[in-house]
Homo-oligomer: A and B are copies of this chain.
Amino acid sequence: MNNIRGRFKKAAAQSVQTYTASVQYDWMLYPYDIAGSVAHARMLGKQGIIKPAEAKKIINALQQIQKEIASGKFVFNPELEDIHMNVEARLVEKIGDVGKKLHTARSRNDQVAVDVRLFVRDAITHTIVGIRYLQQALVQVATANKDVILPGYTHVQRAQPVLLAHHFLAYFEMLERDIARFEDAFARADVMPLGSGALAGVAYNIDRESVAKELGFSTVSKNSMDAVSDRDFILEFEAAASIFMMHISRLSEELVYWSSAEFDFIELDDAYATGSSIMPQKKNPDVAELARGKTGRVYGNLMALLTTMKGLPLAYNRDMQEDKEQLFDTVQTVFGTLDVFPGMLLTMKIKADKMKKAAGGGYLLATDIADYLVKNGESFRSAHEITGKLVNFAVKNGVGLDGLTLTAYKHFSPRFKRDVMNISVESSIAARDNIGGTTKKQVAKQLAAAAAKIKKALTES
């Protein structure tokens, strides 16, 4: 970093270099850094701030440097601290003093801001596509098992029978909101900060909008002090990613328990399970467990940056360098999770018979019995109370509701008639025929809408 230490008499202490260097992780930004520099150089040339021929020379060299990095030939120097200085130093090495003109009308503060914004935009785009594929896997499994019935649970207690497709569509909806949140985050990341300089703008006749256009940004930032110290777009990405991982953790919890001997609802494919170093019989749902566990790191990354940003005065402070590693970690975690989940879902074996068996018998139709009474004139609260007593009686006699005779029913209310015996898992499901309800018709409608939405999105993207 000799070139920016004009004022300093001594080199930084070695431990300081280690502490402050970022190139060991921010090298990942190189395609964005170079794209930003290319657009900046082109604009400088067009505006006559540097000569057009100089701009061309810089751009060509930058494109060569990009290839050098992509091919693994580039040697990063930690003494040059970050990706920006590494690239610039190589530029000067390649084309001499002309390279020293690239940083005209720019500061590292607006340069890093544009790099990270480009990175986040890309991360969001990929995340959304990945979520669409995960939704697609859910819809495929749901469609392939559209008649499968399992118990719906509340409090991990069997509550009412539902279609498995309905159950999976609940996750479709969660992911739908995740996509919407990522799209909203995109809009706020999609703002071009170059031209903000160190903090006050730059003293050159630049054309910010042409740079924005070349880089595909929808708009330019409106306040230079804000632009160089704004990390909202990272926080917002991390918040959206936290909620997404929360959803994944819920699905994972179910996959873990459904794989247990106790539930025995699914069997994960061998490719998505692992063994034990000591217990040969084990087939563990490690992917789901890890995903559930990784929720923690994504939450932690959000909390880290929220903490870092708390109480920082305007404008740029070095604390903000801490925005990147956790961001990269969150992106990697989200991508990795989206890489494994569709395959895991598509290859798992659904044990429809076990699910069906769990949904039958027992007391899952109690609500239907209460509803029966209501439809035959009882008020809901009284119907609820009567059914409670009925359940109690059945429990005491060691039978499910389907083990009670009509006489027994009548003992609890004269409103019970023969047709109460027709209440079944199937009738229970068929009864819930409202938008968002669990009937085959409603579920088919939602499945079709989901499939159409996914198809449209994946075709367009």
Contact = CB atoms under 8 A, between A and B. Distances in A.
Interface stretch (A59-67, A68-76, A247-255, A403-411): A247-255
A366 interface: yes
A455 B253 CA distance: 39
From A167, A195, A262, A449, residue with most partner B Cβ within 10 Å: A262
B281 A363 contact: yes
A133 B259 CA distance: 36
A241 B56 CA distance: 46
Interface string A29-66: 00000000000000000000000000000000000000
A284 B18 contact: no
Contacts of A230: 173-174, 177
A246 interface: yes
B280 A391 contact: yes
Nearest to A445: B222
Nearest to A443: B223
A350 to B, nearest CB: 16
B103 A277 contact: yes
A322 interface: yes
A152 interface: yes
Contacts of A318: 155, 274, 284-286, 289-290, 293
A218 interface: no
A295 B277 CA distance: 32
Contact of A226 (B173, B223, B295): B173
Total copies of this chain within the assembly: 4
A435 to B, nearest CB: 6
Nearest to A362: B261
Interface in A101-144: 101-104, 106-109, 125-126, 129-130, 133
A424 to B, nearest CB: 13
**Interface on chain A toward B: helix, strand, loop, or mixed SS?**
helix
A272 interface: yes
Interface string A14-37: 011011100000000000000000
Contacts of A101: 379-381
A111 to B, nearest CB: 8
A444 interface: no
A188 interface: yes
A368 B392 CA distance: 43
Interface residues of A, number: 208
Interface string A401-438: 10000000000000000000000000011011111111
A276 interface: yes
A314 B167 contact: yes
A96 to B, nearest CB: 10
Interface string A281-307: 111111101101111110111111111
A254 B227 CA distance: 18
Contacts of A199: 152-154, 159-160, 162
A395 to B, nearest CB: 8
A308 B295 contact: yes
Given A271-B16, A290-B319, A437-B224, A385 B184 contact: no
Interface string A217-255: 000111111111110100110010011001001101110
A77 interface: no
A148 interface: no
B315 A438 contact: no
Q: Nearest 9 A-B pairs (CB), nearest first?
A: A6-B388, A201-B437, A300-B304, A293-B319, A281-B363, A201-B432, A296-B308, A100-B381, A289-B318
19 contacts: A7-B275, A7-B280, A7-B395, A9-B270, A15-B339, A16-B272, A104-B380, A153-B260, A169-B223, A197-B432, A198-B278, A202-B434, A235-B239, A235-B242, A250-B311, A261-B358, A280-B384, A294-B322, A296-B322
